[in-house]
Structure 1
Amino acid sequence: MANEPSPRRTAQRRERGDLSGISNECGKCAGHPKILTPPSPRAHRPFLADHKSAQGHPSGELMSSTGLPPFDPIASPADLLGAQVRRTPEAVAVIDGERRLTYRELDSAVDALAGRLAGAGVRAETLVGVCLPRSADLVVTLLAVLRAGGAYVPLDPAYPQDRLELVIGDAQAPVVVTDRAHEHLLAGAGATLLHTDGDSPAAPLAPAAHTADALAYVLYTSGSTGRPKGVAVTCGGVNAMLRWAAGTYSAADVAGVLFGTSVCFDISVYELFFPLAVGGAVVVAENVLALPELPARDAVTLVNTVPSAMAALLRGAGLPGGGGLPGGVRVVNLAGEALPRHLADQVYAQPQVERLYNLYGPTEDTVYSTWSLVGRDERGEPVIGRPLTGTTGHVLDERQSAVPDGGIGELYLAGEGLARGYHGRPDLTTERFVTVGGERCYRTGDLVRRLPDGNLEYHGRVDHQVKVRGFRVELGEIEAVLAAHPAVEAAAAVVQQDEAGDYLAAFVQPGPGAAEPTAAELRAHCAAALPGYMVPLAVGVLARLPLTPNGKTDRKALPPVARSRGGAELFVAPRTPVETRIAELWRGLLGVPEVGVHDVFLDLGGHSLLAAGLLARIEREYGTRVPLDPGEQ
């Protein structure tokens, strides 16, 4: 580092996320901080929620035992906001950095944008794309779409442009709300763009005529054929989840709910709409790892996230200067991944935490389906619990017959939370939403065991679907993208494990006469078509993929393949105090034994969520803002 690198080389290092590039930027500014500007039949026995809860919450208005207000059972989230405005107009509804919106101000902003959406032709059931970063404007926009009668299609600005265009095209969304910083991502989408700060003409809103079956959102998840599928969720499904929540959490619990989850992940629905339905505040953050540095961190009382993110946040608590949960956090919800006992113990080691909930649910059953209050002194792995009020389920075998208690079977869900199905995919809807004993059910593909006390244990999948940081990943979608590479004849994707944890790995079989593609080339090919969390961290090239006797890929016979170190075959230890400090931060966040100056953050298991937390720490310690390259998210 004795020679000053060229601006071009520094930019290349920043884009790759290697340690030497980042530490060089920090080192140049150490001692004289400055901010760098970033680039612009009833024989099937159901399991039920406990008897008292099920009897206490009939269909109709719910008066929760927690003291929260009653709900109209067919109201949309925007209707529930309007009701809360009448109760607490001057209470703070949204906190976004230094910006605060009262319920009255939020409602006014929602009305104004809803009028502009109506002026752009949004009516009942119109699908509206929303491509915005997490912000108060995003909260306003989602509610405005619902108030205008439409349904939102979340679009993460961090996703590849091809992916965004694919989703917009599949949804056939005629309007997309965005801002000027992200409109370039939507240039080829063929939709009308509506800017949050624009002055397009408004139109009167049609009188609200919501029914429980009115569409609330269409959320796209990974598809096994390589084509993502849109899950069409109703306002009635959202309302059912919110009514359960109102009977479970107190007003003090939801005084400040962290909104740190991508709107492309459905647990964000809880973070956004539950507090606003009951008088709490939504506290906006770039992601959950930004919590220790958040100006309004002391206002946060509930954190709702995935176990892997919570583990990273708590690991940060052991580093000098930050991490962990602020003193006001009294409730933690963990969902989207298996919750290991050691992580539950780490959460309860935070003395201010009063309750930890383990939550389970597919997107097709509106956010959460089962819940369990994890005891502070319990032993053994946490169960996924019992169903929410209004949800029932069956544990069935391959003939859709009931499995005796203690046996493992596939979980089928039924009740108020079920989605309509898959947008524009009647064949897939018929395949996954089935009738069992006269009851419409969703086949989850998840294997469970019912315990004698009625709780459920999770026992994996019946297919090749996995979870990565809470996001559903169909390994077949990764394989389809790899197989589309001109040099690849066949591909297989798996989850492998090393000392840093689980990671996605892929293997390819080159086509006849094709030049062998490099791992870097194949990862770049994936990154151009898939969200960052679906890009394999390791890629191996095999002369032939192993096959089972019936000719299918034998995933169990695939060899281990190490994570890439970004082409840095020679380990070079940190050489300066800045490099040493940043390597220490990386080791703490990633749980790896060593970090060299040429290592790449993403290749060691990092991702955009961890990277944002890391860069916030760097900015605090060195006064230097290192931009997070959107292409690396």
Structure 2
Amino acid sequence: MEHTICSAFAARVAEFPSNPAVLGDDGCLTYRQLGSAVAATRKALTDGSGRAAILCCHGANTLTALLAALASGRAYVPLEPTFPVHRLAHILADSRADVLITDAAHADLALQLAPLHDVPIIHIGATSSEVSLEDVLTGLSSPAQPDDPAYLLYTSGSTGEPKGVVQSHRNVLFGIANHVRNFGITPDDRTSVLTSFGYDMAVTDTFSAILSGAAIVPADIRLHGLGHLAQTLSRYGATIYHSTPTVYRYLLASLGPSGRLPSIRAVLLGGEEVVRHDVELARRHFAADTVFVNGYGTTEISFAAQNHLRADAPLDHAVVPIGRPLDGIEIVLDSLTGEIIVRCDHVALGYWGLPELTASRFLDYDGVRAYRTGDIAKRLPDGSLIYLGRADRMVKIRGYRVELGEIESQLAALPGVGQAAVVARDSAHGKEIVAYVVPARDACLEYAAIQLALAEVLPDFMQPRAIVVLDALPIGPTGKLDVKALPEPMMVLANEAAQDSLEQLISGIWADVLGVDRVDGETTFFALGGHSLLMALVQQRLEKALGHPIPLVQLFEHATVSALAAHLRSPVNTNLSHSADRMRRRRQAQAGKRVGSCL
């Protein structure tokens, strides 16, 4: 019998009803309880072959909703709640979803989105211990077939709007079988799920666990911060850790020099370049027999190659190779160094509603379906591959796939912008986006206005960390943009000192985290080059200095020194002067660097 994702899950519910399926602070569910919640949600859905949009909290609620969608015969379309409404509305419209499944925490946002496209709203069902296991399994039966679409995952698109990657049940299960075999996943394992369910990392982490009788350990870093992540991994005994290198480095920095995560038996990094220092960090913070894995893949294939290393393995390269293709997958280069072409019958079905783009990237390669990735690699003498970068203008920002052309399109559409160019530059915090704009005739561009306008249509990781206004874009002899002639962003220094001890404490922490000399009370954290992971470090430092927890969401909602101080001032009763003095002495012992946004 050929399985679908839902039939494979139902088999695990029958086999391991009492095993934990989800372990997290927002809820712990056994397989039977998760199956009960899925079956209850499924009751509200008629059978269909369309798409179900999912707008739920990270973890058990999203998992319940997407499994219910699959049980109904639909493909699921995850909506990331932190994205701008404009982007969510586009995904909802483009996918032509015929139902929106949500939870109580996102009911208001669902009500805002659904009427725009006349989509009915379904709320996830509750678990029930009264439902028999037989009835749960009956509720998980699905009309879906192995070759039907299982999901649409939207990624950045060069045309100015995100594009949907379509994948089938059969192809997902092929990738999951590879992953389970390569990592030896058993019902005793606990797998971290750190990325949004709208990204292929979460697909691999989630289904490799719940289709093996293991448990997922979801953690929402944006909501709770890095300190909470370390606590969650330890509390629930996570055994397999998977994230981008950026999140991994911030996590281990939050542990301190001697902090350890002893339950982790395998560390898997992907989505960005992995370097020798990442392996050295593993030696310091994990058990000696922990396996370190550098994985390579794309949304269109999930994992295509992996390099499994013991933490104490010698390394011959500063950049860790991506290894060799997985079983059933062939990686073809057009020369010793060239574009990666993934040859496998299980690459994605294509791009939703974009037949020309699908035909340009997916091809028949000697009778086998193949995908042109646009990634460049070199084959080493031992046959393994080392990733060298992109052939086009797609970049990875903290593990997220970003088409610079999409940002340029959104900039060019703003009133007063005549021309726009966007590049990715290396910084102390990794790659960051810098935008260059030329005003239209008689137009006056304001940085704050551009920043606010982009925040309405682009997620945080796609927003430029600096915007530079030019009289004209530099053009090379070929008539194309001369990227090398684009100026570095001017570094600006805030010109006001914080006023009271709490503001001094906050601005001191910001200065340390961002690498600036000082910040004023009204410039936003993000305008100074900050992003969500750096904000999580700020949270950790503030909590330590003030001696009480501060929800990460409050730092996002109050993103200037003065606003955050005003918010914290009334409920906080602590010795702020002592904390501020300590931070000031620490800053004075360090050499400051000036960074920032500019116009």
TM class by shorter-chain length?
0.7 to 0.9
Distance 1:165 1:95 in 2: 31
Q: For 1:127, which of 30, 51, 59 is the aligned residue?
A: 51
Which range moved further: 295-304 or 97-106?
295-304
Distance 1:258 1:617 in 2: 24
Q: For 1:498, which of 427, 430, 441 is the aligned residue?
A: 427
SS of corresponding position for 1:601? coil
Are the aligned partners of 1:490 and 1:510 in contact in 2 as well (CA < 8 Å)?
Answer: yes
Distance 1:160 1:631 in 2: 15
Are the aligned partners of 1:75 and 1:212 in contact in 2 as well (CA < 8 Å)?
Answer: yes
Are the aligned partners of 2:24 and 2:217 in contact in 1 as well (CA < 8 Å)?
Answer: yes
Identity of aligned residues (%): 33
Per-residue deviation at 1:626?
6.0
Say yes or no: does 1:524 pair with 2:452.
yes
Q: For 2:35, which of 97, 102, 107 is the aligned residue?
A: 107
Q: For 1:310, which of 240, 243, 248 is the aligned residue?
A: 248
Distance 2:279 2:73 in 1: 41
Spell out, residue by residue over 1:133-184, the C-alpha distance to the aligned partner (whole angstroms, 9 max, x if none).
Answer: 2131111111111111111111001000010001111111111111324324
Per-residue deviation at 1:530?
0.8
Instruction: Give the counterpart letter for 1:484 in structure 2.
Output: A
Instruction: Give the counterpart letter for 1:410 in structure 2.
Output: E
Instruction: Give the counterpart letter for 1:569 in structure 2.
Output: A
Distance 2:77 2:150 in 1: 9
* CA shift in 2, pair 1:630/1:584, >3 Å: closer
Are the aligned partners of 2:35 and 2:140 in contact in 1 as well (CA < 8 Å)?
Answer: no
Are the aligned partners of 1:298 and 1:326 in contact in 2 as well (CA < 8 Å)?
Answer: no
Residues 200-215 of structure 1 aligned to structure 2 (within 5 Å): 208-215=142-149
Say yes or no: does 1:547 pair with 2:475.
yes
SS of corresponding position for 2:285? coil
* CA shift in 2, pair 1:533/1:134, >3 Å: same
Per-residue deviation at 1:631?
7.5
Are the aligned partners of 2:6 and 2:140 in contact in 1 as well (CA < 8 Å)?
Answer: no
* CA shift in 2, pair 1:595/1:117, >3 Å: farther
Q: Counterpart in 2 of 1:391? A: 329
Q: Counterpart in 2 of 1:602? A: 526
Q: Counterpart in 1 of 2:364? A: 435
Distance 1:527 1:507 in 2: 17
Instruction: Give the counterpart letter for 1:558 in structure 2.
Output: L
Are the aligned partners of 2:514 and 2:530 in contact in 1 as well (CA < 8 Å)?
Answer: no
Per-residue deviation at 1:459?
1.2
Per-residue deviation at 1:117?
1.9
* CA shift in 2, pair 1:461/1:632, >3 Å: farther
Say yes or no: does 1:444 pair with 2:373.
yes
Q: For 1:262, which of 176, 196, 215 is the aligned residue?
A: 196
Q: Counterpart in 1 of 2:238? A: 300
Q: TM-score, normalised by structure 1?
A: 0.79
* CA shift in 2, pair 1:265/1:468, >3 Å: same
Distance 2:141 2:294 in 1: 39
Per-residue deviation at 1:591?
6.0
* CA shift in 2, pair 1:592/1:418, >3 Å: same
Distance 1:513 1:573 in 2: 37
Q: For 2:416, which of 487, 508, 524 is the aligned residue?
A: 487
Per-residue deviation at 1:440?
1.9
Q: Counterpart in 2 of 1:83? A: 11
* CA shift in 2, pair 1:253/1:584, >3 Å: farther
Say yes or no: does 1:342 pair with 2:277.
yes
Which range moved further: 243-252 or 501-510?
243-252
Spell out, residue by residue over 1:299-318, the C-alpha distance to the aligned partner (whole angstroms, 9 max, x if none).
Answer: 21121100011111122223
Q: Counterpart in 1 of 2:590? A: none
SS of corresponding position for 1:173? coil
Q: For 1:250, which of 181, 184, 190 is the aligned residue?
A: 184
Q: Counterpart in 1 of 2:494? A: 569
SS of corresponding position for 2:29? strand
* CA shift in 2, pair 1:632/1:530, >3 Å: farther
Spell out, residue by residue over 1:438-495, the C-alpha distance to the aligned partner (whole angstroms, 9 max, x if none).
Answer: 3221110011111122111111111111011111100000000000011011100001
Distance 1:324 1:258 in 2: 18
Q: Counterpart in 2 of 1:592? A: 515
Q: Counterpart in 2 of 1:47? A: none
Per-residue deviation at 1:281?
1.0
Q: For 1:281, which of 208, 215, 218 is the aligned residue?
A: 215
Are the aligned partners of 1:256 and 1:281 in contact in 2 as well (CA < 8 Å)?
Answer: yes
Q: Counterpart in 2 of 1:622? A: 548
* CA shift in 2, pair 1:422/1:626, >3 Å: closer
Which range moved further: 524-533 or 281-290?
281-290
Instruction: Give the counterpart letter for 1:627 in structure 2.
Output: V
Spell out, residue by residue over 1:282-311, the C-alpha distance to the aligned partner (whole angstroms, 9 max, x if none).
Answer: 112112823124386342112110001111
Q: Counterpart in 2 of 1:378? A: 314
Say yes or no: does 1:458 pair with 2:387.
yes
Q: Counterpart in 2 of 1:24? A: none
Instruction: Give the counterpart letter for 2:495 in structure 1.
Output: L
Per-residue deviation at 1:632?
9.1
Name segments (4+ residues, structure 1) moved above 6 Å. Answer: 629-633
Which range moved further: 435-444 or 221-230?
435-444
SS of corresponding position for 1:208? coil
Distance 1:110 1:196 in 2: 8
Q: Counterpart in 2 of 1:162? A: 86
- Unpaired runs of 5+ in structure 2? 128-137, 560-599
* CA shift in 2, pair 1:584/1:347, >3 Å: farther
Spell out, residue by residue over 1:482-522, the C-alpha distance to the aligned partner (whole angstroms, 9 max, x if none).
Answer: 0001101110000113334321100011112222x122221
Distance 1:416 1:286 in 2: 34
Q: Counterpart in 2 of 1:182? A: 109
* CA shift in 2, pair 1:526/1:98, >3 Å: closer
Per-residue deviation at 1:538?
0.3
Per-residue deviation at 1:224?
0.8
SS of corresponding position for 2:474? coil
Instruction: Give the counterpart letter for 1:544 in structure 2.
Output: A
SS of corresponding position for 1:144? helix
Spell out, residue by residue over 1:520-541, the C-alpha distance to the aligned partner (whole angstroms, 9 max, x if none).
Answer: 2212221111111100000000
SS of corresponding position for 1:448? strand
Instruction: Give the counterpart letter for 1:362 in structure 2.
Output: T
* CA shift in 2, pair 1:299/1:617, >3 Å: farther
* CA shift in 2, pair 1:418/1:630, >3 Å: farther
Are the aligned partners of 1:292 and 1:324 in contact in 2 as well (CA < 8 Å)?
Answer: no
* CA shift in 2, pair 1:266/1:168, >3 Å: same
- Unpaired runs of 5+ in structure 1? 1-71, 397-402
* CA shift in 2, pair 1:328/1:605, >3 Å: farther
Say yes or no: does 1:422 pair with 2:351.
yes
Distance 1:414 1:467 in 2: 23
Which range moved further: 229-238 or 245-254?
245-254
Per-residue deviation at 1:327?
2.7
Are the aligned partners of 2:100 and 2:110 in contact in 1 as well (CA < 8 Å)?
Answer: no
SS of corresponding position for 1:97? coil
Higher relative contact order (CA 8 A, sep 6+): 1
